[in-house]
């Protein structure tokens, strides 16, 4: 007699929720994704997909889709905010791919989202379903939605983002922390600033603000993010708009390339940079968390999407395979399902906490040009080299290896 398939409700169809649905369906679970939005719209701007996240998507056979919409970074360049000179450069491309075993992509969030949505296979997607509550019953969980509907599942995965409703059922810990900065972000057409090197991640660290530019949409657009000190007056929302004048004021008097970027901006989103303290737990009975719901992080390591994708792989593995490296640390009276969730959490919580805390002062936040322009060139190299070394353990991480899973089990490990 065949065993009944595990019914899994994933709350949220962001990149984390969709990746979870793909991974769980591939592991033969019966998956339904509940998303509050009425449609899967084109939302967001540039997103970094590190080698650690990209290697999973390559194993899922999505390398050619990624190559068509994303850009494989060839170099990372730091430029002087005032005179525009290249201060220091880090080669990426083949060197990076050889070192970390997979490409580093910059991609429009909507493109990555679409690629994952195309892979849902047998998983169902219920749009316009805003979760408002859940109750664990004897051998299942009952979900309640704002439209009066309800549903039942064996396991619930809260992939409902930074303001997760599911998280309240798991823990009250994880106070919100404002970083003192807001990020103004958006897109400019590549042909509006033709003098900049293509396939290059560009950073201008200014005395206070920092500007980052990365190519997206197959190189036809640049995504910009200006990280600007702020009192936190903007609402915390991915869809909040900012004013072009606010960005222009923060970058006034910078160099001619930055002027070109400012001149091409027509719309800008404003994203106050909050994160949370690492949570003390992710799971409660049959309910667990994934992605930003579990570990909202500042963007300075560019790891929000990649960590969510790693979570998805770990969750599917721990729920569907009985053995695992963390098993011996578990309480003796757990059921196989809750044991699986605890194994997932035991692998992912310490790892993501390290990424989360490292993101606070890591990445571009390490680069500073507070010193006079002429002394900056000499100072640029060490912080950039250090910045790359800071993230090398994250980029090199292979979640399937950590799970003890044969890394070629699901298809070609690379194919890039």
Q: How far is the CB of 327 from ligand FAD (least distance, A)?
A: 26
Q: How far is the CB of 297 from ligand FAD (least distance, A)?
A: 8
CB within 8 Å of 391: residues ≥ 6 apart: 50, 301, 358, 362, 363
| Position 53 contacts ligand FAD (CB under 6 A) | no
Token pair in block for residue 404: 């003890």
Select from 40-48, 148-156, 319-327, 367-375 the region that touches ligand FAD (CB under 6 A).
40-48
| Position 17 contacts ligand FAD (CB under 6 A) | yes
Q: How far is the CB of 293 from ligand FAD (least distance, A)?
A: 6
Q: How far is the CB of 224 from ligand FAD (least distance, A)?
A: 11
| Position 15 contacts ligand FAD (CB under 6 A) | yes
| Position 44 contacts ligand FAD (CB under 6 A) | yes
46 versus 50: smaller Cβ distance to ligand FAD: 46
Beta strands in 241-391 (DSSP E): 269-276, 287-289
What mask, x for binding ligand FAD by CB under 6 A, covers residues 20 to 39?
--------------xxxx--
Gap between the Cα atoms of 389 and 316, Å rounded: 30
Gap between the Cα atoms of 80 and 87, Å rounded: 6
- Distance (Å) of CA 272 to CA 186, 218, 228, 279: 14, 28, 9, 21
| Position 109 contacts ligand FAD (CB under 6 A) | yes
45 versus 268: smaller Cβ distance to ligand FAD: 45
C-alpha triplet 246, 229, 88: angle, nearest 5° = 95
Question: How does strand 221-229 pair with strand 269-276?
Answer: unpaired
| Position 291 contacts ligand FAD (CB under 6 A) | yes
C-alpha triplet 394, 28, 57: angle, nearest 5° = 30
48 three-class SS: strand
Task: Enumerate binding residues for ligand FAD (CB under 6 A).
Answer: 11-17, 34-37, 43-47, 109, 129-131, 159-162, 165, 185, 238-239, 291-293, 299, 304-305, 308
């Amino acid at each position: 007699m065949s065993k009944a398939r595990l019914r899994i409700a994933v709350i949220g169809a962001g990149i984390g929720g969709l990746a979870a649905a793909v991974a769980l369906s591939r592991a033969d679970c019966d998956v339904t994704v509940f998303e509050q939005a009425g449609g899967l719209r084109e939302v967001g701007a540039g997103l970094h997909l590190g080698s650690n996240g990209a290697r999973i998507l390559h194993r899922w056979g999505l390398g050619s889709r990624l190559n068509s919409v994303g850009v494989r970074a060839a170099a990372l360049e730091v430029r002087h905010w005032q005179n525009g000179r290249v201060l220091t450069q880090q080669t990426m491309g083949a060197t990076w791919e050889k070192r970390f075993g997979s490409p580093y992509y910059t991609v429009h969030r909507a493109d990555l989202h679409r690629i994952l949505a195309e892979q849902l296979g047998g998983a169902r997607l219920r749009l316009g379903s805003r979760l408002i509550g859940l109750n664990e019953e004897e051998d299942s969980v009952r979900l309640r939605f704002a439209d009066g509907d309800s549903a039942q599942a064996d396991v619930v995965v809260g992939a409902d983002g930074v303001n997760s409703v599911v998280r309240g059922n798991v823990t009250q810990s994880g106070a919100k922390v404002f970083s003192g900065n807001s990020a103004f972000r958006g897109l400019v057409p590549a042909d509006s600033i033709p003098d900049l090197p293509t396939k290059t991640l560009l950073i201008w660290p200014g005395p206070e603000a920092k500007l980052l530019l990365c190519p997206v949409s197959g190189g036809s657009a640049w995504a910009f993010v200006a990280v600007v000190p702020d009192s936190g007056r903007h609402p915390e929302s991915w869809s909040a708009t900012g004013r072009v004048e606010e960005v222009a004021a923060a970058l006034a008097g910078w160099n001619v390339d930055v002027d070109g970027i400012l001149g091409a901006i027509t719309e800008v989103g404003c994203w106050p940079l909050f994160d949370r303290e690492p949570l003390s737990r992710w799971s409660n009975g049959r309910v667990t968390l994934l992605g930003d719901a579990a570990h909202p992080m500042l963007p300075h390591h560019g790891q929000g999407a990649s960590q969510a994708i790693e979570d998805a792989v770990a969750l599917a593995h721990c729920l569907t395979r009985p053995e695992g490296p963390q098993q011996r640390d578990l309480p003796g009276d757990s059921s196989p399902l809750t044991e699986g969730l605890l194994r997932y959490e035991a692998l992912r919580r310490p790892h993501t906490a390290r990424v989360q805390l490292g993101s606070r002062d890591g990445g571009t936040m390490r680069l500073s040009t507070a010193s006079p322009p002429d002394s900056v060139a000499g100072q640029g190299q060490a912080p950039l080299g250090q910045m790359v070394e800071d993230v090398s353990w994250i980029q090199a991480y292979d979640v399937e290896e950590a799970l003890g899973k044969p890394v070629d089990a699901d298809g070609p490990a690379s194919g890039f």
